[in-house]
Structure 1
Amino acid sequence: MKKSVLKMPIVDIHTHIYPPSYVDLLRSRKTVPYVRNFEDAPDSSRLIILPGEDDPSTPSTSRGRPIGAEYYDIKQKIAFMDQHKIDKSVISLANPWLDFLPASEAGDAARKINDDVNEICAGYPGRLYAFGTLPLSADADTIVKEVDRLSSLKYMRGVIMGTSGLGNGLDDTKLDPVWAAIEKAGQMIFLHPHYGLPKEVYGPRANEYGHVLPLALGFPLETTIAVSRMLLSGVWDRFTKLNVLLAHSGGTLPFLAGRIESCILHDGHLKKAGTRDNRRKVWDILKTNIYLDAVIYSEVGLGAAVAASGADRLLFGTDHPFFPPLEEDVEEWHSVNANYTAIAKVFDNDGRAKDVLGNNAVRILKLDE
């Protein structure tokens, strides 16, 4: 890490925690998502969050991911922050959130999780803030009530959502009351992938490649598809002040935005339907309603994110506790240093580097209040 870049404040807006109560919920389950041990890997609890990850024919190291105290012990989060010179973190529940719960249980679970996370933040005032979790398997009224309640919790700065919405995607008009409530509350949506792509697209040898294909390709493409559906369905035409922070620098959206616009322009169906012309352009929404994290690990990807949305809309993140170093006795994480290095190279240590590392997050998420 280049010390000339690491000036106060540094803010990590993409960092997850599974509160103990949530881990207990996953351990109590017998179907995906859940935490379990395997006979051929008895010393390792594995977090299984996708269908098929618990297939006995899959090599044990490809089944979910090992889950230890770094997932739920906030002291380990603080130690990680100290190790990497991070002053503030905006923590969020990681996938699969509460999407799997029955509608009758989701509202109470969301309130419990959000209260737990807010209390965790209260233990480290000025260092920890959070994105709240929504009960998206419940009815819209229950979700809206939790959106409104989050505004009363001191350390909440928005909400985290997956791409399935209420189950039919983010272009589902049944989400409109939720979008309206979030827009009215002035909350940021942190949009994060979970489901990836159907495993069949990776080919019959996919299990030989661990998690590389679904994480490197499936997650970013899931985000790109979800946001494209929001664009095509006119979400931002109806909710012009709805702000969304996209994980992993927007997936492939910055690179493909021009192609998306061209395909819209040349689509006869959209022209006949009357939805081609009277709409906001992708480029306008990227620079007005969309924010991007800087979790992209290279200056090439980061440069595309800057070109698409602007340096003033880019926010540093680590994706902790995921992607830890596999080598023993390594203190600094390669993944975090890759993001620091990319920022240093793209901005050549000018003032915009400090903005991306922290000033933007403080301003956008009001972390100085």
Structure 2
Amino acid sequence: MDTNQLIAILSVAIATSTPLVFACIGETITERSGVINLSAEGTIMLSAMAGFAVAKTTEGMGATPSLILGFASAALVGAVVAWVVAFGALTLKQSQVAIGFVLALLCADLSSFLGNPFVRIPGPSVPSFKIPFLQDIPLIGELFFQSDLLVYLSFGLIILVWVYFYRTRPGLMLRAIGEQPAAAFARGTNVILMRYFYTILGGALMGIAGAAFSLDFKAGWSHRHTAGYGWIALAIVIFGGWNPLRVALSCYLFGILQSVATYAQSAIPNIPTQVLTVAPFVLMILFLVLTSSEWLERLLKLLPPALSRAATQTIHSTPPADLGQAFEQD
């Protein structure tokens, strides 16, 4: 594999990871507030269908307006599904896991039923947008500045959410309602209202992720168009330790695995295509298992103390203390 092939693989990995970045950052925001939205699989499918359907239907208005309406519609669908999760969990005090799982199945079936008229027909897609001057930087320009606007927005989203989480007072309050909601409530924070807001915001980003699939990464619509990506997004949030930067890096790792698998299909034709198609999903789950196992913790203890502590903090993380728990706000 030469340098050009490596750059091509990494460039494709960054581009194909973009929808997952939006989905995983959205779920990270939601779970940091203390709510689990397990509807990710169905939400992404339904949003992908809605985004493509609206963009295709309004194609006569012009490429840019139709794409904007497509992404806006997908975000709205994601927000509505997230509102249902929030209402059932926060107002009705029902199981967040059960509600999310049922919605995942319902939305997936709805996407196939409602999207039937749009199956495998051409439609609008996000155009490439190379940044002048920056695209000419050796290596870096080819990797980061020869993509499209959605990719650049994902870079900004990662930085914005990290700064919001760890460098602003509202971000501190967001983490507080997920860790110690009673203490946040005692300081005058409306925990339920804030959890509603962050759940709906996370759902909207998940909706944008769906449109990113059907209007960019996998342009078009077909039955089960994004099957599997919602579940892998939930796993990546755990693997990334609910930290926006680590979550994003985990998304890019998954993208690299996908890109390498695609490259291997032509480089090693004797391996069945099905094996290479599912390999990235299996490897990501394997990474999650390995980084959660006790033997890895014992292995890290063999390193020098300073390096061991740094490695442990990087690999291991704990979920928000009140994640998935109902909060009684009197």
- Flag whether TM exceeds 0.5 (same fold): no
TM-score normalised according to structure 2 size: 0.30
In terms of fraction of residues, the more strand-rich structure is: 1
* Greater helix proportion: 2
Higher relative contact order (CA 8 A, sep 6+): 2
